[in-house]
């Protein structure tokens, strides 16, 4: 196994973005690709690590950049300011996701008929919105993602299979929002699954999450179980 990683610049209109990608150079030919969407902090080492782990599984891992080349938040206040424009303008978010999808399809190691997307927190919302646009991809996986519908995709048929991995006690995804999400996915005709982890709050995959008052705590069991659920899901949709 020889994991190769690097960065690649791409554009959304005039905005310069920089993705991080990883793949196993010992595998011959094209292979499935998995987009990885970052948290509100930006395209950091957390998602770079996920790209490398996906490369070890035989995929091309591509960590998406939503904010712009070199742009990272350094505090909760900065993170919130970077994320908020995309919360306010979901059409802009969806357009930026489609720019990343276009970029990964151009990579020489990628089988562009086999693409999926995963995302964490804010990134979970991003990949769900990509599916909501009707993008022709195999599936999306949201890890403790924001589940609220964007308001501009009603009536779209969702082609991608959906897996939402959710903490039951996540204050950013209360039960009413979960029920609304289930109803939305059903009405869109999606092939959807929701896995709920008990006694689990937001950011359960992030070892640095340690803010019980803010509802963000790392939970090793949920982290391990959700990654295994992702592996099984990817194996199914890429079969």
The pLDDT of 93-118, averaged and rounded, is: 98
The pLDDT of 178-204, averaged and rounded, is: 98
pLDDT value of position 29:
95
pLDDT value of position 92:
98
pLDDT value of position 1:
77
Whether the model clears a pTM of 0.75, i.e. scores above it, the answer is: yes
The pLDDT of 102-126, averaged and rounded, is: 98
Mean pLDDT score across all residues of the chain: 97
Q: Which CATH number fits domain 3-237: 1.10.3720.10, 3.40.50.1260, 3.40.50.1820, 3.40.120.10?
A: 3.40.50.1820
Task: Reply yes or no on whether the pLDDT at 149 is more than 80.
Answer: yes
Name the band, by pLDDT with cuts 50, 70 and 90, for residue 190.
very high
- The 3-state secondary structure of the chain reads CCEEEEEEEEEECCEEEEEEEEEECCCCCCEEEEEEECCCCCCCHHHHHHHHHHHHCCCEEEECCCCCCCCCCCCHHHHHHHHHHHHHCHHHHHHHHHHHHHHHHCCCCEEEEEEEEEEECHHHHHHHHHHHCCCCCCEEEEECCCCCCCCCCCCCCCCCEEEEEEECCCCCCCHHHHHHHHHHHHHCCCCEEEEEECCCCECCCCCCCEEHHHCEECCHHHHHHHHHHHHHHHHHHCC
């Amino acid at each position: 196994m020889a994991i190769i990683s690097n960065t690649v610049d791409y554009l959304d209109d005039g905005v310069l973005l920089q993705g991080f990608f990883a793949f196993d150079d010992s595998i011959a030919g094209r292979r499935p690709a998995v987009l990885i969407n970052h948290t509100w902090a930006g395209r950091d080492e957390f998602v770079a690590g996920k790209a490398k782990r996906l490369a070890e599984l035989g995929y091309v891992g591509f960590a998406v950049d939503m904010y712009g080349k070199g742009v990272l938040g350094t505090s909760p206040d900065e993170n919130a300011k970077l994320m908020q424009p995309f919360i306010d303008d979901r059409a802009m978010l969806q357009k930026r996701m489609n720019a990343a999808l276009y970029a990964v399809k151009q990579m020489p190691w990628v089988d562009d008929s086999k693409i999926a997307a995963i995302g964490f927190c804010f990134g979970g919302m991003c990949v769900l919105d990509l599916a909501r646009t009707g993008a022709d991809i195999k599936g999306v996986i949201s890890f403790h993602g924001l589940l609220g519908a964007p308001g501009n995709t009603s009536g779209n048929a969702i082609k991608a299979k959906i897996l939402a991995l959710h903490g039951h006690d996540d204050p950013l995804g209360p039960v009413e929002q979960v029920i609304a999400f289930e109803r939305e996915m059903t009405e869109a005709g999606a092939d959807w699954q929701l896995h709920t982890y008990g006694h689990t709050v937001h950011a359960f995959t992030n070892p640095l999450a340690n803010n019980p008052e803010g509802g963000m705590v790392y939970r090793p069991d949920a982290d391990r179980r959700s990654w295994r659920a992702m592996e099984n899901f990817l194996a199914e949709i890429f079969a």
